Structure 1
Amino acid sequence: MGTLKTARHRGAAVVLLLPALIGTAGCAAGDRPDAGEAVYGRPLAEQFQAATDATRAAGTAGFLSTLTYGAAGGDAVHRAEGSQDYGKGTSLAKLGLRAQPHFPEKTLELLGGPATDGEQAVATAGDDVYVRHGDSAWLKYTPEAVNELGEATGVIAAHAAGDVAPYSGTLADIVPRVIPRVKPERRADGSRVYRVSVLPEVAAEVLPRDLQSLQGDWGTDPVRLTVRLDAGGRLASAAADLGPVLARLHERDALVDVKRLRAAYELSDFGEPVKGEGPDSSGEPVVDARTTLAPLATLGKGRCATTRGTGLGTTMVVRPVDCADRHDLRVLAQVEVERTFPGKREDASAEVYGRKQCEQASAAAPEDWRRDSRYARDPALVGASSLELSTSEGVSETTVTGDYTCYLRTP
């Protein structure tokens, strides 16, 4: 993976406001134009870009970003709430996933499930992202760490500060990329409500990275986006019905129990002091993810590791630990698969053969591992595979390859 992905989609926006600010600095109070004139006085097509400038000019703001998955048994909500400083390019937020009691259990596991080791905090400072669970040390993801640890870090890297906001991966990143075509509704308090459409591939950027990766083609069905600007022209809220995005996920047999998918974003407390101190200013311990974590595929037989405290929600990248300490898994083996079949076999899977090798590795494991009550009876595997169809001189073949890590897991 390359550097941290940020939401840089525009130029030096703050400069656009300077002429208006300078021009009004010497006006008497009675002659001063409306606070929102710098936004609403512009052509309609430029108002979202101007609103982003006005929002950043406030200096700071509180934010709440939610992604709601609606199912027959209730809702599950990914929630990020915190404060951000636009000038410093920093943010501090609490993250969590909460579900109603009858939300489908398997779908909840796919979404990551509630944190089991304390509340997760995320801080950003430029291109760096920090994660902490409970009272643990801050885990720092630099661009270098992301490059070395790979795509699994994308779920955290997506929040690195961008040109739109210090906390990225929300609807705020999308608003300045949309051009309104219809005049907004003006409310009694001076705010404006816009109803616009965005491409599904753009709207899908607010999804967690593992869900984004499930769908390559998002189609062309538009996503409806409602944007509200306050009387001063600053972004107040945005909401999107992600139904078209969900439909494409259903085509890939993903989130099949989810019937409604909605994203929302709200800003508040403009100009107020940022709540809480980030890791760089608090003096609290910080550790580098590059030296603390490792891809599971690099761990040898017998090594133990935990996924707790990484913020990634995956076993692809883990924190190696001593097997006498609390851990989630113990590596059995690293296995490779390469099988070739006659004909075109698009249903062929390397995972089937990888799983057989994992079962053999489990049967050959030391007796004390297999008797250890901490581990589930059946081994698990994680890895990547590919399928290649080829034809030569009229003869077709199918080749499947895969690289897997076999491991014992704690229930």
Structure 2
Amino acid sequence: MITLLLPVLIGTAGCGAGEKAPAGEAVYGQPLAEQFQAAAGATREAGTAAFVSMLTYGAAGGDAVQRARGSQDYERGTARAELGLDAPRTFPEGTLELLRGSAPKGKQVLATADDDVYVRSGSSAWLKYTPEAVNKFGEATGEVAGHAAGDAAPYSGTLADLVPRAIPREAPERRADGSRVYRVDLLPEVAGELLPRHLRGAGDAWGTESVGLTVRLDADGRLTSASADLAPVLAALHNQGMLLEVKRLRATYELTAFGEPVKRPFDDGEPVEDAVEVLASVDTLTRGRCATTDGTGLGTEEIVRPVDCADRHDIRVLGQVEVDRVFPGQPIIGSTDRYGKEECERADAAAPKDWRRGGRYADGFRVQGESEVSVSVAMDGDPGNGTETTVTGSYTCYLTVAR
């Protein structure tokens, strides 16, 4: 009996091995909870794709849209995208300025190559942020460094990063073209990672309401779109007094043109500058030095490009000041930054008078820095017997060019 059946079994196996697996079997043949992880692999295997990632802020005066549009090469770990923040004139001006904290005015081009990120504004040279630059300048580089190639895609900071972290619990809806649509939930603090870094201040106030995420995979199991209603994230921001004029917040991501040729991030002959060599933290600039924020890609005055004061610039440093105050037996109430401002007032008063002539600089000055508070308590617990509150800190005082 066995000798008769063996040839039949071998023949059956040989026939099956010659058949082509159904489209999407590598994804849809997996357990439901593992399909998003498999879809990430199927998407990478496409080799290349075009993408559009958007974060839309809806207000009474219209929508402000933060958009990245470009292409990705999964095999090479490279990407190129044009970035921009567009809003109608009727969008609330104060809120728009807050959003521009992560999106410098004008269009930018951003490219990634493994761990390095390149930024260019207009016809300027490419500015390269390496891991060394990120280590040197810290979190201030986050808006650029956060787009470095990741596990999910060569361009990070989109919903593509969050899809593999979600776990489907219900079978997807199958469409006539073989695609599947999944509806899953995300924790609000996870969805909050899509926000610009200076808006991620909700802390422990994210709340418990989940964020609804809709994911679409094509017939081959590749990610083609994802969208999320970030209302719970917006509610958390409102609780912190942020973006109060924004009534709707939504994130979307789309992939198309799988496998088609893509443009290289940039040409070998184009000039490239290293951020480590040409940028500086504003708190390292000495009195009288000038700098510009143009071309850094960061939308912040923390990291700047030092320039000659005869050239076009945005800021002029009044000085670096220190705060070191002791208050016997009394707690500190309110912001301690007021002591830094007082020191900056002295630096402003001591600045050469010709800096203010001609109306080049705006009235007043700006302050960056922070203080720490420490309290030493008397051994006998009597506040009046040796208890002291100490405030120490470092601040940069600087003028800004009048607009």
| TM-score calculated relative to the size of structure 2 | 0.90
What is the aligned partner in structure 2 of residue 39 from structure 1? 27
Residue 215 of structure 1 and its aligned partner are, at CA, apart by: 3.0
Q: Which of 87, 107, 121 is 1:99 aligned to?
A: 87
Please state if 1:319 is matched with 2:305. yes
Please state if 1:402 is matched with 2:389. no
Check the 8 A contact 2:205/2:239 in 1, yes or no: no
Amino acid at match of 1:325: D
What is the aligned partner in structure 2 of residue 383 from structure 1? 369
CA RMSD, Structure 1 to Structure 2 (Å): 2.1
What is the aligned partner in structure 2 of residue 126 from structure 1? 114
Tell me, in whole angstroms, the C-alpha distance in 2 between the residues paired with 1:149 and 1:24. Answer: 61
Mapping for residues 270-285 of structure 1, pairs under 5 Å: 270-275=258-263, 277-279=264-266, 281-285=267-271
Q: Comparing 350-359 with 151-160, which one deviates more in the overlay?
A: 350-359
Amino acid at match of 2:366: A
Residue 25 of structure 1 and its aligned partner are, at CA, apart by: 12
Tell me, in whole angstroms, the C-alpha distance in 2 between the residues paired with 1:336 and 1:364. Answer: 16
Check the 8 A contact 2:50/2:72 in 1, yes or no: yes
Amino acid at match of 2:398: Y
What is the aligned partner in structure 2 of residue 160 from structure 1? 148
Please state if 1:365 is matched with 2:351. yes
- Segments of 5+ residues of structure 1 without an aligned counterpart are 1-22
Pairs aligned (count): 382
Check the 8 A contact 2:201/2:237 in 1, yes or no: no
Check the 8 A contact 1:24/1:32 in 2, yes or no: no
Please state if 1:186 is matched with 2:177. no
Check the 8 A contact 2:147/2:155 in 1, yes or no: yes
Residue by residue over 1:315-372, the C-alpha shift from the partner in whole angstroms, topping out at 9 and shown as x without a partner, is 0110000001100010001112233444444x42222121222222222211110113
Check the 8 A contact 1:95/1:120 in 2, yes or no: yes
CA 1:203/1:372 → structure 2, altered by over 3 Å: closer, same or farther? same
Tell me, in whole angstroms, the C-alpha distance in 2 between the residues paired with 1:348 and 1:24. Answer: 78
- Segments of 5+ residues of structure 2 without an aligned counterpart are 1-13
Three-state SS of the structure 2 residue aligned to 1:274 is: coil
CA 1:344/1:372 → structure 2, altered by over 3 Å: closer, same or farther? same
Tell me, in whole angstroms, the C-alpha distance in 1 between the residues paired with 2:240 and 2:330. Answer: 25
Residue by residue over 1:360-402, the C-alpha shift from the partner in whole angstroms, topping out at 9 and shown as x without a partner, is 2222211110113221011111122334466541537554433
Tell me, in whole angstroms, the C-alpha distance in 1 between the residues paired with 2:117 and 2:88. Answer: 30
Q: Which of 73, 80, 90 is 2:78 aligned to?
A: 90
CA 1:141/1:216 → structure 2, altered by over 3 Å: closer, same or farther? farther
Larger Rg: 2
Residue by residue over 1:71-127, the C-alpha shift from the partner in whole angstroms, topping out at 9 and shown as x without a partner, is 1221111101100000110000011111121111111111116644x5211000010
CA 1:119/1:25 → structure 2, altered by over 3 Å: closer, same or farther? farther
Tell me, in whole angstroms, the C-alpha distance in 2 between the residues paired with 1:107 and 1:262. Answer: 16
Tell me, in whole angstroms, the C-alpha distance in 2 between the residues paired with 1:256 and 1:263. Answer: 18
Amino acid at match of 1:359: E
Please state if 1:261 is matched with 2:249. yes
Q: Which of 266, 290, 293 is 2:279 aligned to?
A: 293
Tell me, in whole angstroms, the C-alpha distance in 1 between the residues paired with 2:371 and 2:126. Answer: 34
Check the 8 A contact 1:215/1:249 in 2, yes or no: no
Tell me, in whole angstroms, the C-alpha distance in 2 between the residues paired with 1:175 and 1:294. Answer: 36
Residue by residue over 1:19-72, the C-alpha shift from the partner in whole angstroms, topping out at 9 and shown as x without a partner, is xxxx99974xxx433311211121111110111110000000011111111112
Residue by residue over 1:295-324, the C-alpha shift from the partner in whole angstroms, topping out at 9 and shown as x without a partner, is 000000000000010001100110000001
What is the aligned partner in structure 1 of residue 42 from structure 2? 54
Q: Which of 350, 365, 373 is 2:336 aligned to?
A: 350
CA 1:221/1:340 → structure 2, altered by over 3 Å: closer, same or farther? farther
CA 1:45/1:305 → structure 2, altered by over 3 Å: closer, same or farther? same
Three-state SS of the structure 2 residue aligned to 1:325 is: coil
| TM-score calculated relative to the size of structure 1 | 0.88
Check the 8 A contact 1:200/1:218 in 2, yes or no: yes
Please state if 1:306 is matched with 2:292. yes
Three-state SS of the structure 1 residue aligned to 2:40 is: helix
Tell me, in whole angstroms, the C-alpha distance in 2 between the residues paired with 1:314 and 1:228. Answer: 36
Check the 8 A contact 2:291/2:305 in 1, yes or no: yes
Tell me, in whole angstroms, the C-alpha distance in 2 between the residues paired with 1:398 and 1:254. Answer: 31
Residue 143 of structure 1 and its aligned partner are, at CA, apart by: 0.4
What is the aligned partner in structure 2 of residue 227 from structure 1? 215
Amino acid at match of 1:199: L
Amino acid at match of 2:59: A
Q: Comparing 334-343 with 84-93, which one deviates more in the overlay?
A: 334-343
CA 1:24/1:76 → structure 2, altered by over 3 Å: closer, same or farther? farther
What is the aligned partner in structure 1 of residue 7 from structure 2? none
Tell me, in whole angstroms, the C-alpha distance in 2 between the residues paired with 1:401 and 1:103. Answer: 40
Please state if 1:252 is matched with 2:240. yes
Tell me, in whole angstroms, the C-alpha distance in 2 between the residues paired with 1:67 and 1:180. Answer: 23
Check the 8 A contact 1:170/1:206 in 2, yes or no: yes
